[in-house]
Structure 1
């Protein structure tokens, strides 16, 4: 496999968000994106892999699919894995590890499958296998078809490289960017988050508006592959499209510690000049000066029945404040319970599918423009 050979690239996301990620990938200019369970598939070359890691906000990781074959027993897997051209992708001097999963296949032992593939790599390439290697080879055996991929991202892509401070059960940046997109946000309007936590929605919105690449401040596993071209990569990273929006992005929270976290994270992300954070309760919430835009928030859910009931007054107060003061704005609200969301009495549009988050399933509730 060379930089000129097209292959399948898989961009992973949370189940339920595949169409939203596909829309982003299409708008970023990737070739014929197709939503599939758990992500989006495109056809491309190695520079497209680098670009996907650097540019795409909603992908959790980017996998390069390097081989696929039918296999029904471990001896056959051993033979076919030895035929993969590992040296065209992996480096002899870079450690690797193998992860495998099996579903509806005659090979059902994922550990044994991973062991066979690791042995093939060691035999044919001589690269060292270590449990904490930065380069991960991933094998999925599904209905007797083995697909072998290389994780080109390394650390998950929601780790942008700036967020050192987080609160409990933080929303991942990748998911936040897709929820913003679902609400119709494209960077051309202000955003307000009245329960900002560690500032994720506000910082993502500011970066989108400023056209800052999400991967600009971190390294990737593909930099350790045989296909990597340092000169071409540095040229790609050097392209700057930053613009200065005409408005700011606002976060508030009743907790002073959350506000301090948000300010620190915005500074590390380089968007201090585009963001504003303050300590305030929902009853103190007012729209900023300037045009209307989007109010988006990830409020407390209440995982137990008693907690959920105790949160009803908070949701009711939120709805009353938004209806009274935010005419002309749209609202996006994450909730785990339909009852809590509708306690706001906001005019929600039909809800999308539930999305797994922190062991729960959250739904994005959206409104049109509030009267």
Structure 2
């Protein structure tokens, strides 16, 4: 249980450096940013803690073993000898949980047909351990990720199950919602740590503000959901309960302001905030951007994920919206910082806000978006 192995913390490509910062701050060992995430060294306790507490990780994959295989017959034979019972708990059989295998191979390996490799490994799991095989990834309770690189077959298991953006409290969503894990990462990238107010003038179902309020209270990210690791042989319910009980929440007197021109999504946002336990910190109101007023109290962060052409609406119709947002920021929000997520630099420039240089683009909904930021507006 205390043995150390590789743990891969996945995130959206382009946000690896933000997750790395969070992982270092959380005290995980030997973090290294790689393509699509951060690799750490740790034990099963670290797997549980990462799933429960990290806000920017989308999945937690545990490296569980590897062997060499130069052809499919050898892959079949060695897969049958793999210690599946040491990984999969009896709950997999008792609860009729379904297993799925995904294989990624490359030209450096003699086994190049991923589908044939999947078939051999899944058959081995079914015949040697007795687990049911899922018909399609969407029906799987537990997923193994297998990488065949230079004839080395590396096994990892998805210990999260559903994506970690599914915190357990968002039931109602507006159009083109931002995932909670991305929202948390963008907040961190904007320097937000929970000690200032946050305003989102196009808040949709409230994702940014709910994440910000949870961070302000230091709520545990995964407190309201279950995980795939609960069905594994390594699972220690008492130890996981200990992680939950040792977590310290804190009082917060910050305020979080959300508005949107769509009255329906304001109702969604209020309901989601209530389920998350932060409705007392959040204020939502149906308001056009042009009618936005600066809240009383100290300055903080304005963060917004406005519509952009390929995502919602036509680009030519959006210049007025972006321009109006920029006007309100310059006229009424001196002392605040602004963060904006958009795929379109021309739309960002239409705000006439003093954007700092942007970093690498980030994958979101089939598009590449960038985080545009200002310093404190003066």
Candidates 113, 119, 130, aligned match of 1:115: 119
| Structure 1 residue 103 corresponds to structure 2 residue 110 | no
1:289, distance to aligned residue in structure 2 (A) = 1.5
Structure 1 residues 76-87: aligned runs within 5 Å: 76-87=74-85
Please state if 1:141 is matched with 2:148: yes
Q: Helix, strand or coil: the match of 1:97?
A: strand
Match of 2:290 among 283, 288, 291: 283
Residue matched to 2:133? 129
Residue 30 of structure 1 and its aligned partner are, at CA, apart by 0.6
What displacement does 1:256 show?
Answer: 0.3
1:134 deviation in Å?
1.2
Is 303-312 or 344-353 further displaced after alignment? Answer: 303-312
Distance 2:328 2:71 in 1: 62
Kindly state the Cα deviation for residue 71 of structure 1 after the two structures are TM-superposed: 3.3
Query: Which of the residues 174, 185, 197 maps onto 1:190?
Result: 197
Q: Which runs of 5+ in 1 are unaligned?
A: none
- Is residue 216 from structure 1 mapped to residue 210 from structure 2 by the alignment? no
Separation in 1, partners of 2:91, 2:303: 47
Q: Match for residue 21 of structure 2?
A: 23
Deviation for aligned residue 1:107: 2.1
Residue correspondence of structure 1 range 180-259 to structure 2 within 5 A: 180-259=187-266
* CA deviation after TM superposition for structure 1 residue 77, in Å: 1.9
The offset of 1:306, in angstroms, is 8.4
Provide closer, same or farther for how the CA distance between residues 143 and 277 of structure 1 changes in structure 2, counting only shifts above 3 A: farther
Encode CA deviations 1:249-282: one digit per residue, 9 max, x unaligned: 1110011011111001000111011111111111
Measured after TM superposition, the shift of residue 123 of structure 1 is 3.9
Could you state the TM-score of these two structures normalised by the residue count of structure 2? 0.94
Instruction: Write the distance in 2 (CA, Å) between the matches of 1:198 and 1:32.
Output: 37
3-state DSSP of counterpart to 2:147? strand
Aligned counterparts of 2:150 and 2:197: Cα–Cα separation in 1:
48
Residues 1:332 and 2:330 are matched in the alignment: no
| Secondary structure in 2 matching 1:309 | helix
Q: 1:158 aligns with which of 157, 165, 186?
A: 165
CA separation of 1:113/1:333 partners in 2, compared to 1, >3 Å: closer, same or farther? same
Shift of 1:20: 0.6
Per-residue CA deviations over 1:11-57 (Å, capped at 9, x if unaligned) read: 11111111111111111111121100011100100011010000000
TM-score between both structures, scaled by the size of structure 1? 0.95
Name 2:180's counterpart in structure 1: 173
Distance 1:13 1:215, change over 3 A: same
Distance in 2 between the 1:305 and 1:187 partners?
Answer: 30
Correspondence list, 1:61-80, <5 A: 61-80=59-78
CA distance in 1, matches of 2:31, 2:312: 41
1:287 offset after TM fit, Å? 2.0
